[in-house]
Amino acid sequence: MECALNGRQLGPSLLKLFDTFLVDCDGVLWIQDSAVKGAEAAIRTLRSHNKRVLFVSNNCGKTVEQFQEKFRTLLHLEDIPSRDIINSAVSTAIYLKNKMDLEKEKVFVIAQDAFTKTLDSYGIKSFGPGFAEPKAFVDWTTFDVDPSVKYVIVSYDPFFNHTKLTEAYLYLTENKAELLSPDVDQFFSVSSTRKIPGSFCVQAAVSSVLGGDRTPKIMGKPDKFMFDLIQQEHGEMDRGRTVMIGDNYKTDMGFGFNCGVSTALVLTGNTKEGDVEGLGRRPDFVLGSIGDIGAE
């Protein structure tokens, strides 16, 4: 397959080539609280052709229920099943539920509040989101390192500060806790023309205090773990008939490359048209937007 920019011509042909569509959300279907033009029509077109459509997102700052609300309010799609929405908080929760002692172990979370709500729904004890009061040096001499904390989650946290960094460091070094991260997104799109630092900057801070030689196990894209999880939940996919649609070259296209499925890059989010020529491995397809799929 060849990378091309004539998305309105390519879009309908994807319907013939693929049976399963793995679709990112932020930057593909919507940007913040605005729907991407044509996104609703694209999803309706895929579903009317009996395609399997799974929404695969690194956004762990929303619960599945909040995703469903965005589908309803922005795309007027009332019936997106919760099991068809797989975000990196869900993949992390399933990983932890299958590994940890739910009665005795806890998770320290550097992330947004929605992350702990997802963990709670799986019976996982966690804490950490929200504002953390700054501590003086002397406060750390008497800080109680809870021995039941065996996992540390590191993601985007608007309240991230030295207190949270130090607490994570103590659990990771004194408890030998396992370090996990839902995603490696370097930037988040906040508008069609602006992006801000994402989860990766928080991960880099935590890794740096560990000497730089200890990096988190990644629960979301581009790691193959998430693909394996999707197959466990939804059955085997024919990789030759599966395509990953996303706006982020590193995470979305990387996910497709790592998992052996086709890739379609849309230019409505992180990656812009001017970036395409400088890419290393090229996506199989480049579309102006996901709306090209529903174009007549």
In this structure, are strands 178-181 and 187-189 parallel, antiparallel, or unpaired? unpaired
**Local structure of 63: helix, strand or coil:** coil
- The residue length of the chain stands at 296
Encoded amino acid at 218, one letter: I
Active-site annotation holder among 19, 223, 228, 238: 19
24 is catalytic: no
Closest of 2, 56, 49 to residue 29, by C-alpha: 56
Question: Which residue(s) pair with 262 in the sheet?
Answer: 243
Query: What separation in angstroms does the CA of 214 have from each of 96, 156, 204, 221?
Result: 19, 19, 10, 19
DSSP line for 99-130: HS-TTT-EEEEES-HHHHHHHHHTT--EE--S
List 217's β-bridge partners, or say none. Answer: 180
Which residues neighbour 78 within 8 Å (Cβ) at sequence distance 6 or greater?
A: 71, 72
Catalytic residues: 19
